[in-house]
Amino acid sequence: VAAATLAGVNFTTGTPSPSSAATIDPQSDFRVWESTVAITTRKVDMTRFSLRQIGSVNANDLNNFRLLVDGVQVGDTVSNLQELSVGDYLVFDLSDDPKTLETGNRVVKVLADVLNGSNRTFQFSLRNTADATFIDSQFNVNVLPQAAGGTFTARSTGIQTIGTAAVTVTKTSDS
């Protein structure tokens, strides 16, 4: 019989950013999900990170999903929502090149380009502990993420609504 203390992975913020927005305009590098993760005891390797997309956006409305840790992109860019895995999950598979997270607070965020989607909504959610895979660097076993204060619950952003489009036609004075 052996006893060991595994590394700790704790999502420290209750609600990830961004909160609900009245409307957003199409733009590049929109932050669709962000949270702080506290790594304790020793470093861990993140091998998978997935978020569920909830909302009415079409597959081509959001584009170029990028996972960043402390402001640096990790893994490959996911082109668009058509590349989502089963069940509307956006999956960043880092198993071939895991991201090492040193002890301390780490900011994990996902950026995307908002291209279209007039009056449509989206929301991203880390649904459960199986959606993020962290491996203890010393014992080489999975570490279940926890939440600040104990039990892990879904970490969902606010609902984002893409603004309605408007067209303005102006008649020139000499026509």
pLDDT digits (tens, 9 = 90+) for 105-161: 999 999 999 999 999 999 999 999 999 999 999 999 999 999 876 778 889 999 999
| Of 83 and 155, more confident | 155
Burial (CB count within 10 angstroms: exposed 0-12, middle 13-18, buried 19+), residue 33: buried
pLDDT one-digit tens code per residue, 10-63 = 988 678 899 887 789 999 999 999 999 999 999 999 999 999 998 899 888 999
Enumerate the β-bridge partners of residue 109.
34, 68
CA distance linking residue 147 with residue 37, whole number of Å: 9
DSSP code per residue over 11-40: E--SSPBP--EEEE--EEEEEEEEEEEEEE
Q: What is the pLDDT of residue 87?
A: 62
pLDDT of the residue at 86 = 52
User: Of 41, 34, 49, which Cα lies nearest the Cα of 160?
Assistant: 34
pLDDT in the model for residue 101: 98
The token pair that represents 94 in the structure block: 């880092």
129 in helix, strand or coil?
helix
Backbone conformation region of residue 35, classed left if phi is above 0, alpha if psi is from -120 to 50, else beta: beta
Task: Decide if pLDDT at 84 tops 80.
Answer: no
- Is 91 or 84 the better-scoring residue by pLDDT? 91
2, pLDDT greater than 80: no
Question: Could you give the percent of the chain with pLDDT greater than 90?
Answer: 67
d(CA 36, CA 3): 29
